[in-house]
Amino acid sequence: MSQSAHERFLRNVNAKKLIFRKFLAVRTMFSVLAIAITATVAIAASDTGTTSHADGAKMYLLTEMQYRQIIKDTFGADIEFTGVFAQEDRADGLLAVSSGQTSISDAQLQSFDAMARKIADQVTAPQHRGILIACQPENPKKADNACATKVIRNVGLRIFRRPLSEQELTLQVAAAGQAAEKVHNFYDGLSISLSSMLMAPEFLFRTETVTGPPGNQTLDDYSRASRLSFFLWDSQPDNELLRAAKDGELHTAQGLVAQVDRMVVSRRFEYGMRSFFSDMLHFDEYSGLEKDAMIYPRFTSNVSAESEEQTLRTLTDLLVTRNGDYRDIFTTRRTFLTPELAAMYNISLPRLTAPMEIPSWEAVELPEGDIHAGILAQISFTALHSHPGVSSPTLRGRALREVFMCQKIPNPPAFVNTALPVNPELNTMRLRLTAHRNNPVCASCHKLMDPMGLTLESFDGSGGFRTTENGVPIDTTGDLNGVTFSNALGLEKALHDDPKIPNCLVQRAVTYGMSRQIRSGERAWVAALNQSFADSKYNLPNLFRRIATSPEFFRPDSNTGKVTTAAN
pLDDT in tens, 139-174: 999 999 999 999 999 999 999 999 999 999 999 999
Listed residues 436, 469, 497: the one ending a domain = 497
pLDDT band for 10, please (50, 70, 90 cuts): very low
Residue 58: inside a domain, yes or no? Answer: no
What is d(CA 447, CA 468) in angstroms, rounded to the nearest whole number? 23
Same-domain check for residues 364 and 428:
yes
Closest of 420, 419, 485 to residue 458, by C-alpha: 485
Same-domain check for residues 248 and 362:
no
Q: Is 70 exceeded by the pLDDT of residue 437?
A: no
For the stretch 118-131, pLDDT in tens is: 999 999 999 999 99
Residue 123: inside a domain, yes or no? Answer: yes
Number of structural domains in the chain:
3
Q: Is 60 exceeded by the pLDDT of residue 51?
A: no
Same-domain check for residues 226 and 319:
no
Q: Compute the half-sphere exposure of residue 76: CA atoms within 13 Å on the CB side of its CA.
A: 13
For the stretch 281-302, pLDDT in tens is: 999 998 889 999 999 999 999 9
Q: Is 70 exceeded by the pLDDT of residue 525?
A: yes
What is d(CA 206, CA 61) in angstroms, rounded to the nearest whole number? 6
Same-domain check for residues 391 and 435:
yes
Supply the range of the domain harboring residue 223: 214-266+502-568
Helix, strand, coil percentages (3-state) for the chain, rounded to 5, are 60, 5, 35
Say whether 219 sits in a helix, a strand or coil: strand
What is d(CA 71, CA 65) in angstroms, rounded to the nearest whole number? 10
Specify the range with the lowest mean pLDDT, choosing from 50-64, 368-382, 526-540: 50-64
Amino acid at residue number 92: D
Specify the range with the lowest mean pLDDT, choosing from 268-272, 429-433, 437-441: 437-441
What is d(CA 438, CA 402) in angstroms, rounded to the nearest whole number? 24
Residue 57: inside a domain, yes or no? Answer: no
Residue 195: inside a domain, yes or no? Answer: yes
Same-domain check for residues 153 and 298:
no
Same-domain check for residues 488 and 515:
no
Specify the range with the lowest mean pLDDT, choosing from 310-314, 421-425, 456-460: 421-425
User: Which one of 447-451, 484-488, 562-566 scores highest in mean pLDDT?
Assistant: 484-488
What is d(CA 402, CA 510) in angstroms, rounded to the nearest whole number? 16
Same-domain check for residues 295 and 313:
yes
- Phi, then psi, of 521 in degrees rounded to 5: -70, -5
Residue 192: inside a domain, yes or no? Answer: yes
Same-domain check for residues 522 and 467:
no
Same-domain check for residues 518 and 437:
no
What is d(CA 282, CA 497) in angstroms, rounded to the nearest whole number? 23
Same-domain check for residues 111 and 223:
no
Same-domain check for residues 27 and 169:
yes
Q: Is 70 exceeded by the pLDDT of residue 47?
A: no
pLDDT at 42: 32
Q: Is 70 exceeded by the pLDDT of residue 228?
A: yes
Same-domain check for residues 414 and 519:
no
Q: Is 80 exceeded by the pLDDT of residue 529?
A: yes
Residue 274: inside a domain, yes or no? Answer: no
Listed residues 450, 470, 497: the one ending a domain = 497
Listed residues 176, 205, 234: the one ending a domain = 205
Say whether 60 sits in a helix, a strand or coil: strand
What is d(CA 11, CA 17) in angstroms, rounded to the nearest whole number? 10
**Which residues are CB-contacts of 482 (< 8 A; sequence separation ≥ 6)?**
none
Residue 52: inside a domain, yes or no? Answer: no
pLDDT band for 37, please (50, 70, 90 cuts): very low
What is d(CA 509, CA 545) in angstroms, rounded to the nearest whole number? 11
Burial 240-277 (b: 16+ CB within 10 A, else e): ebbebbbeebbbeeeebeebbeebbeeebbbbbbbbbb
Amino acid at residue number 429: M
Residue 272: inside a domain, yes or no? Answer: no
Answer yes or no: are the C-beta atoms of 505 and 566 closer than 8 Å: no
